Structure 1
Amino acid sequence: MFMAAEISILICEDQTLMRQGLRTILELEPGMKVIGEAADGEEAVKRYQELHAEHHEPDIILMDIEMPHMNGVQATAALIKSSPEAHIIILTTFDYEDYVFDAIKAGAMGYLLKDVPATELMATIHKVHAGEPFIQPKIANKLLIEFGRQGRSPKAPSTLRTSPEEELSPREIEILKLLAEGASNRKIAERLVLAEGTVKNHVSNILSKLQLENRTQAAHLARERKLL
């Protein structure tokens, strides 16, 4: 009886618990094998190159977007440039349109949110392994609506939001950290000895610079990028 070859997988995720959880789930699935892990984008590129040199390059790369040193979109672009055959699935907390645009532009073949059931993750791995691109339906619908509303095209990978430290002033970073702690404009004003109107202006600038819609997204982004 013919047995299909195992699908080999490289996990690129900076959160240790998430990375270990993915490994456990994947290794319980018949026909799948984790052959490497990376904790940031630079390590992901290096680990892939090492496996490639050993003729054990992974069939699938699961790539987080928000990682230190080199983010997932930058790592995806670097991997696709050196190895166009790489099959990369973005697995992330974010469904922001720009993240999806940038990931696809960089060469990712799949895009899933981390809250998907294990069965959907496995199905996506099989689809992408077979050469079929896949974006989670609710994300794809959001993209179509956004394209129709704004008529805009995907941005280049270089336009992905860089780290807040690179985009925001020291004062704005202070305020972003307090936002992530759940502080109101009034509480922030009291903590930093500022007028409440000044804080409101800073928050507006933060949202504009980071291309976010509201303070909840800003707080989430600050926590994801470990600014606390």
Structure 2
Amino acid sequence: MIRVVLADDEPLTRAGIRAVLGADPGIAVVAEASDGREALTQVQAHRPDVALLDIVMPGLDGLSAGAEITRTVPATAVIMLTTFSEDEHIARALGDGASGFLVKSGDPLELLRGIRAVAAGAAFLSPTVAQRVIRQLGSGGAGRMSSAARAREQVTGLTSREREVLCLVGGGLSNAEIGRRLHVAEGTVKVFVSAVLRGLGVRNRVQAAIVAYEAGLVDRT
């Protein structure tokens, strides 16, 4: 069972997300919050698998709460819920260790897939979010990620197997899923993922996934 803490300051939004998650017998919402401070308290109390946080909330916002959750409860994966007006916040969340980004108005099945992915240790980017992250981080303002040309250059330094693993990381697959896809042990996948992160010069799977998108290795549709 994947245990989730849900935080959003809009009761109707929380109710809608709760209904989507409640339709999946493998996911349980163990607590809810209407602001970042309450979300942090609930996560520290319940130690869920996933914290699903709206980026903009009153008081302590989702970005600050997510960063503190990553620091104090590292076993809990953080997914940020974003709208198209919040691109400027995404670079910060990425740097603070968020494992996934989803659009509030996106497909409910994408929400379920994203939660399963990050709970399994993978990174997950909604394709729509990925395109906007790429534009934001490649615009020069954030300065954290390279342009498409730079991403393609980074990828050329990887072996063919590492590129294959990068594609699967970009597709939101966990180490176990990658192992099954490539017919190798999960421990071997961990070694490859570590090599990919070093080869790309990135800190985590989400940043690697963005490089994969930007280099054209993952379908953006």
What interval of TM-score do these two structures reach, taking the shorter chain for normalisation?
Answer: 0.5 to 0.7
**The one of 45, 63, 66 aligned to 2:56:** 66
Per-residue deviation, 1:45: 0.7
Moved over 6 A (4+): none
Higher relative contact order (CA 8 A, sep 6+): 2
CA distance in 1, matches of 2:55, 2:110: 19
What are the superposed Cα offsets for residues 7-38 of structure 1, whole Å, 9 maximum, x if unpaired?
Answer: 11110111111112211211111211110001
Q: Is the Cα–Cα contact under 8 Å of residues 44 and 75 in structure 1 kept in the other structure?
A: yes
Decide which of 91, 102, 115 is 2:92's aligned counterpart. Answer: 102
The alignment status of 1:35 with 2:35, answered yes or no, reads no
TM-score with structure 1 setting the length: 0.59
Gaps of 5+ in 1: 1-5, 52-56, 156-228
Pairing 1:124–2:119 present: no
Letter in 2 for 1:121: L
Instruction: Classify 1:50/1:117 alpha carbon distance in 2 versus 1 (closer, same or farther; 3 Å).
Output: same
Q: 1:15–1:128: structure 2 CA closer, same or farther, 3 Å change rule?
A: same
The answer to whether the Cα contact below 8 Å between 1:62 and 1:91 also exists between their aligned partners in 2 is yes
2 CA distance for matches of 1:24 and 1:144?
31
Structure number with bigger Rg: 1
Alignment of 1:59-208 (within 5 A): 59-94=49-84, 96-150=86-140, 152-154=142-144
Give the match for residue 207 of structure 1: none
Which amino acid in the other structure matches residue 124 of structure 2? F
SS, match of residue 61 in structure 1:
strand
The 3-state SS of whatever aligns with 1:78 is helix
After superposition, the Cα gap between the structure-2 partners of 1:46 and 1:93, relative to the gap in structure 1 and judged at 3 Å, is same
**Structure 1 residues 153 and 48: alpha-carbon distance in aligned structure 2, compared to 1, 3 A threshold:** same
SS of alignment partner, residue 107 of structure 1 = coil
Equivalences, count: 145
Corresponding letter in the other structure for 2:5: L
State the AA in 2 paired with 1:88: V
Residue in structure 2 matching 1:7, options 2, 5, 9:
2
Paired residue type of 1:137: P
Please report how far the alpha carbon of residue 80 of structure 1 lies from its aligned counterpart in structure 2 after TM superposition: 1.1
Structure 1 residues 34 and 154: CA distance shift in structure 2, 3 A: same
Please give the alpha-carbon distance, in whole angstroms, between the structure 1 residues aligned to 2:38 and 2:70: 15
Deviations 1:78-109 (A, max 9, x none): 11111122201111224543211011112110
- After superposition, the C-alpha distances for 1:162-191 in whole angstroms (9 at most, x for unaligned) are xxxxxxxxxxxxxxxxxxxxxxxxxxxxxx
CA distance change for structure 1 residues 148 and 94 in 2, over 3 Å: closer, same or farther?
closer
Is 1:48 equivalent to 2:54 in the alignment?
no
Aligned to 1:226: none
Matched with 1:19 is 14
* Mapped partners of 1:49, 1:146: distance in 2: 32
Identity %, equivalent residues: 34
Helix, strand or coil at the partner of 2:31: strand
